[in-house]
Amino acid sequence: MSDDELRVVLYSHDSQGLGHTRRNLAIARSLARHLPALTGRPVTGMLLTGVDAATSYGRPEGFDWVVLPGIRKGSGGYAPRNLAVGMAQLTSLRSGMLDAALTGFRPHLVVVDRHAWGVDRELREPLRRLRAHSPGTAVVLGLREVLDEPGAAAREWAALGDLERVHEVYDQIWVYGDRAVHDPVASGEIPAELADLVRHTGYLSTGRVPGERTSGVDRPYVLSMAGGGCDGHRLTLAAARATVPRGHRHVVITGPQMPEEHAEQVRAAALPGTRVLSSVPDALAEVVAASAVVSMGGYNSVAEILTTSTPALLVPRDRPRQEQLIRARALRAHGAVDVLSADSLSSAALSRWLHRVVGTVQPRRHLALDGLHAVPVLAARLLPGARSAVQPPGPADLVVPAVPARAGGLR
pLDDT in tens, 150-181: 999 999 999 999 999 999 999 999 999 999 99
Concatenating the DSSP letter of every residue in 263-300 gives HHHHHHHPPTTEEEES--S-HHHHHHH-S-EEE---HH
CA distance 18 to 229: 10
CA distance 231 to 229: 5
Q: What residues are paired with 67 via a beta bridge? A: 49
Total number of residues shown for the chain: 411
Helix (H) or strand (E) holding 324, with range, is: helix 323-333
* 83 pLDDT above the threshold of 70: yes
Mean pLDDT, residues 111-115: 94
Q: Tell me the CA distances in angstroms from 307 to 7, 124, 132, 345, 398, one per residue in order.
A: 29, 35, 41, 25, 18
Question: In the structure, what pLDDT confidence band is assigned to residue 17 with cuts at 50, 70 and 90?
Answer: low
Domains of the chain listed by start with CATH number: 6-203+369-397 (3.40.50.2000), 221-357 (3.40.50.2000)
Mean pLDDT, residues 257-285: 95
pLDDT of residue 15: 61
Question: In the structure, what pLDDT confidence band is assigned to residue 213 with cuts at 50, 70 and 90?
Answer: very high
Residue 354: burial class (beta carbons within 10 Å; 0-12, 13-18, 19+):
buried
Mean pLDDT, residues 287-304: 96
Instruction: Note whether 377 and 308 are within 8 A (CB).
Output: no
pLDDT digits (tens, 9 = 90+) for 91-100: 999 999 999 9
pLDDT of residue 18: 67
pLDDT digits (tens, 9 = 90+) for 171-209: 999 999 999 999 999 999 999 999 999 999 999 999 888
pLDDT digits (tens, 9 = 90+) for 24-53: 999 999 999 999 999 999 999 999 998 887
CA distance 203 to 370: 6
